[in-house]
Each structure stands twice: as structure tokens, then as C-alpha cells.
């Protein structure tokens, strides 16, 4: 098994944190996105979507998409459970993971990809207006999330799950766009300090 990945990029980091929570180590092959190594023929053969990370199994099968890779490891090693503990919990974790991805991480990514000068060669064309439209959506989401976190420790309930991983990575990804969690979002900030303090956050 081998993980083709890029240290520090947001989606790879989701898998890194997930693996750290599980205590799983996987041999890594570093792909340099700024050098466009993800667009080289040998990488495209592994993932035609040209995105990291990709998990290569010993039989040559490739699993792309961070959340698909995480689900594979969840089944390979169920403890600790990060996708929920029973039928209803698993549905709710999926709901929260998707909300954190589609309504927080995606707007942050759109703001970054479409307004940051470093992305000019990778995101073609950059649509600056689209990047700007997404910025206030991040804060609308954080304000709402703040109310949700008033009466529970983690995004999807009483346990740390993959939804916390996505939300943590999304919020850290606000830094390159020079945005941050407003001081008024005290519950988000409490949750953020908590999940950032876990050893896995350094992964």
C-alpha cells in the first residue's frame, strides 16, 4: 500500500489527520502540486482527475478521493470509529461531513483558488468575482455553526468524527486567503482550540 499525496494541501491533510486518529502509518510518495507533478502522465494514470491523494493498493488498484480513502481505512480498522457508530449516527455523520465540505471547505477553496495569486497558473481561468462571492458565505456558515456548537462538543455530536476533520482543515485553509474565525464565534473557537490540540492535527 502506498499513498500518493502532498503534505500541507487541504485534501491530503484530511487523510493524514484521519490516519493519525486511527494510528495507521502508510508509506508515502510526495507529489509536488506547484511543480504540476499531479498533471504528469504517471500520476494521471493513477488518478485521471489529477488530484491528490490517491491510495495505491498492492494489487495496483487505485482509490482516489479523500473521503473514499478514509472510508476504506474505516472498514480496514474500525477503531476508533470516525464515520459514526450505528445506522442513524452514520447517516448524521455523513450529513455533517457533507455540510462541512460543501458549505465550508468548498467556499474557502473557491475563495483561495479564484483570488490567490499563487493559483493563477493552476486555476484557469481564475474568476475573481466568484472567489469574492464565496467569502461572505464562509462567515454565514461559521455564524450558524457557532449556534450548533453551543450545546455539543463536536460537529456531529458527542464524538470526534470525520466531520470535525473536514471542518478543521477548512478553517486552517482560510489563512492563505487572510480570513479567520470571527471572535464573536466563541463556540467555534472553543471547538477549534479543542480539535487543533489533538496530536492528529499536526499530521
Which residues bind to its own copies, rule: CB under 8 A?
Answer: 48-49, 57, 61, 63-65, 67-69, 71-72, 75-76, 87-88, 90-92, 94-95, 98-99, 103, 125, 127, 129-130, 133, 144
What sign does the CA torsion over 155, 157, 159, 163 have?
negative
For the bound state, the minimum distance from the C-beta of residue 154 to its own copies, rounded and expressed in Å, comes to: 17
Nearer to its own copies (CB atom), residue 38 or residue 99: 99
For the bound state, the minimum distance from the C-beta of residue 105 to its own copies, rounded and expressed in Å, comes to: 12
Nearer to its own copies (CB atom), residue 42 or residue 86: 86
For the bound state, the minimum distance from the C-beta of residue 157 to its own copies, rounded and expressed in Å, comes to: 11
Nearer to its own copies (CB atom), residue 61 or residue 183: 61
- Measured in residues, the chain has a length of 203
Nearer to its own copies (CB atom), residue 69 or residue 167: 69
**Coil vs helix vs strand at 113:** helix
What sign does the CA torsion over 200, 63, 121, 114 have?
negative
For the bound state, the minimum distance from the C-beta of residue 128 to its own copies, rounded and expressed in Å, comes to: 9
Nearer to its own copies (CB atom), residue 147 or residue 197: 147
Unique residue bearing C-alpha cell 485534501: 11
Find, among 25, 24, 30, 27, the residue nearest to 12 by Cα. Answer: 30
For the bound state, the minimum distance from the C-beta of residue 202 to its own copies, rounded and expressed in Å, comes to: 26
What sign does the CA torsion over 161, 165, 171, 172 have?
positive
For the bound state, the minimum distance from the C-beta of residue 71 to its own copies, rounded and expressed in Å, comes to: 5
Q: What does DSSP say about strands 28-30 and 2-5: parallel, antiparallel, or unpaired?
A: parallel
Q: What are phi and psi of 141, to 5 degrees?
A: -65, -45
Contacts of residue 106, Cβ cutoff 8 Å, sequence gap at least 6: none
Nearer to its own copies (CB atom), residue 87 or residue 193: 87
Distance CA 203, CA 198 (A): 10
Amino acid at each position: 500500500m502506498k499513498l500518493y499525496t502532498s503534505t500541507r494541501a487541504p485534501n491530503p491533510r484530511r487523510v493524514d489527520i484521519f490516519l493519525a486518529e486511527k494510528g495507521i502509518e502508510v508509506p508515502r510518495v510526495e507529489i509536488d502540486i506547484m511543480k504540476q507533478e499531479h498533471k504528469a502522465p504517471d500520476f494521471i494514470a493513477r488518478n485521471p482527475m489529477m488530484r491528490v491523494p490517491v491510495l495505491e493498493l498492492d494489487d495496483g488498484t487505485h482509490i482516489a478521493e479523500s473521503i473514499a480513502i478514509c472510508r476504506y481505512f474505516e472498514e480496514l480498522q474500525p477503531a476508533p470509529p470516525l464515520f459514526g457508530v450505528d445506522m442513524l449516527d452514520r447517516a448524521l455523520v455523513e450529513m455533517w461531513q457533507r455540510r462541512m465540505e460543501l458549505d465550508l471547505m468548498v467556499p474557502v477553496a473557491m475563495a483561495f483558488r479564484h483570488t490567490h495569486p499563487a493559483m493563477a497558473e493552476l486555476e484557469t481561468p481564475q474568476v475573481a468575482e466568484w472567489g469574492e462571492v464565496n467569502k461572505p458565505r464562509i462567515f454565514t456558515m461559521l455564524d450558524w455553526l457557532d449556534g450548533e456548537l453551543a450545546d455539543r462538543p463536536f460537529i456531529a455530536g458527542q464524538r470526534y468524527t470525520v466531520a470535525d476533520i473536514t471542518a478543521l482543515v477548512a478553517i486552517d485553509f482560510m489563512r492563505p486567503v487572510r480570513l479567520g474565525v470571527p471572535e464573536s464565534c466563541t463556540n467555534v473557537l472553543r471547538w477549534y482550540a479543542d480539535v487543533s490540540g489533538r496530536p492528529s492535527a499536526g499530521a
